[in-house]
Amino acid sequence: MSETKKLFIKTYGCQMNVYDSERMAANLAAQGYEQVGAAEEADVILLNTCHIREKAAEKVYSELGRLKPLKTEKPDLKIGVAGCVAQAEGQEIITRQPMVDLVVGPQAYQNLPEMLNRVDQGAKVIDTEFPVEDKFEKLANHAGMKSAPTAFVTVQEGCDKFCAFCVVPYTRGAEVSRPARQVLEEVKQLVARGVREVTLLGQNVNAYHGEGLNGGDWSLARLIRALAEYDGLDRIRFTTSHPNDMDDDLIAAHGEVKKLMPYLHLPVQSGSDKILKRMARKHTRDAYFRIIDRMREARPDLALSGDFIVGFPEESDQDFNDTMNLVRRVGYAQAYSFKYSERPGTPAVDRDQVPEEIKSARLAELQELLTQQQKDFQQGLVGKTLDVLFEKDGRQDGQLTGRSEYLIPVHAIAPQEMKGQIAPVTIDVNHRNSLGGYLGPVKT
């Protein structure tokens, strides 16, 4: 037996990267790699990177710069780059930063143990292939992982939609859904380990069409309805969805499946039909409104979240105003907004760009409105009693932190034994990004 090696993984980007990092750690644990919390203690450092915007992608090079003295001090230290920058840039990463030993794209993680063996023998190893074999079969094992009350489970990966701004179809590849059997088994394993809430992940999660249990394809709604049958699993969430894949059954499920949480992340990106067309979103602003209206009919207390891009090429003041009035009409509980960032290889790169200072001004205006809406949504919860799944210690002594049905973090004084339990909390404070409350119903 070789001695234990110490592995440090730093994760950037989306929740799917968080899931992937956990899977890589579990897979390598079986090969004798123990996960540590600091780069300084590690024999192997993996950066699991994001390529969605230029700023996200550049982070990997600043981090590599910071790691350089460690590598000089400890020449045996191995440094790997995983994730979407690895997929997009491949060899280029080693050319720019020769101390990198390994580059691995998201579809090749099942090969990591063998790749690390080759690195140990002094090779530089790059794998950005899209293999036909099923990586999830090899990576789905959760044994040995720290147990927690919530977990992510990837059910779908990749994207065939090719929005004009987006790298995902290139970094994560074509849309693939995992067979329902695999997902059900993985969730069963998680529930046995104490998980009470799962978030089903996919870049286009509501386009899920995995092989069903008795032949034929299952939709996301069908999968959710099957998972809702599991005793011990109390909450189901999913992210991220595309408006065009919100089918009737998925909308209906929000009114019928108690375990499906009243929260929907449904990016629209822009409120202007002209820009939506140029983004190749394949839906209009009215189509988006219709879905939101139907979702609210099915689940009146739904909390909505979205993604917005400002300053997409050729966005005029009028187009931006259309985004602002879409936001006013919908009313978001929470949202993400970004300045358009040119991504190499995507269709929008060679178009007329909006000047940086206009992008910044529009982003500030949009974020002010979204922040106000978040504040208002949270204020509407003050005085109400919400079910909270307690996950971890809060910031103050004696406090625990968990999430409400609406995904907003809630802090309350609660005993340690309540970690992993769902309990009613009456909200009495609205913080910026969280709520505070006390255990139990409203005190009169």
- The residues near 134 (Cβ < 8 Å, ≥ 6 apart) are none
Q: How far is the CB of 81 from ligand 5AD (least distance, A)?
A: 20
Partners of 411 in beta bridges:
401, 436
Q: Which listed option, ligand 5AD, ligand SF4, none, makes contact with residue 13 (CB within 5 to 8 Å by class)? A: ligand SF4
Cα gap 205→247, rounded to integer Å: 12
Q: Which is nearer to ligand SF4, 167 or 176 (CB)?
A: 167
Residues 330 and 319: their CA atoms lie apart, in Å, by: 17
84 sits near ligand SF4 (criterion: CB under 6 A): yes
51 binds, among ligand 5AD, ligand SF4, none (CB under 5 to 8 A by kind): ligand SF4
> Is residue 103 part of the contact set for ligand SF4 (CB under 6 A)?
no
Nearest to 423 by CA among 396, 400, 397: 400
Nearest distance, CB of residue 269 and ligand 5AD, angstroms: 6
As a whole number of angstroms, the distance between CA 359 and CA 311 comes to: 5
Q: Which of the choices ligand SF4, ligand 5AD, none does residue 313 contact, using the CB cut-off of 5 to 8 A by kind?
A: none
Given 17, 35, 240, 323, the residue binding ligand SF4 (CB under 6 A): 17
Distance, CA of 149 to CA of 312 (rounded, Å):
39
b/e code 312-328 from CB counts within 10 Å (16+ = b): bbebeeebbebbbebbe
Q: Strand, helix or coil at 200?
A: strand
Distance CA 338, CA 312 (A): 10
- Which is nearer to ligand SF4, 49 or 219 (by Cβ)? 49
408 lines the binding site for ligand SF4 (CB under 6 A): no
Near ligand SF4 by CB under 6 A, which window of 9-17, 91-99, 338-346, 430-438? 9-17
Question: Under DSSP, is residue 399 helix (H, G, I), strand (E, B) or coil?
Answer: strand
Restricting to residues 50-109, which ones interact with ligand 5AD according to CB under 6 A?
52-53
Q: Does 52 bind ligand SF4 (CB under 6 A)?
A: yes
Site string for ligand SF4, 187-216 (x = CB under 6 A): ----------------x-------------
Token readout for 404 is 């409400």
Using rule CB under 6 A, residue 51 touches ligand SF4: yes
From the list ligand 5AD, ligand SF4, none, partner contacted by residue 340 (C-beta under 5 to 8 A by kind): ligand 5AD
Q: Are strands 176-177 and 156-157 parallel, antiparallel or unpaired?
A: antiparallel
Question: How many Å apart are CA 213 and CA 323, to the nearest integer?
Answer: 42
| From candidates 168, 190, 205, 330, binder to ligand SF4 by CB under 6 A | 168
Q: How far is CA 385 from the centre of its chain?
A: 28
First to last CA, the chain: 64
- Rule CB under 6 A: which residues touch ligand 5AD? 52-53, 165-166, 267, 269, 307, 309, 338, 340-341, 343
- Rule CB under 6 A: which residues touch ligand SF4? 13-14, 16-17, 50-52, 83-84, 167-168, 171-172, 203
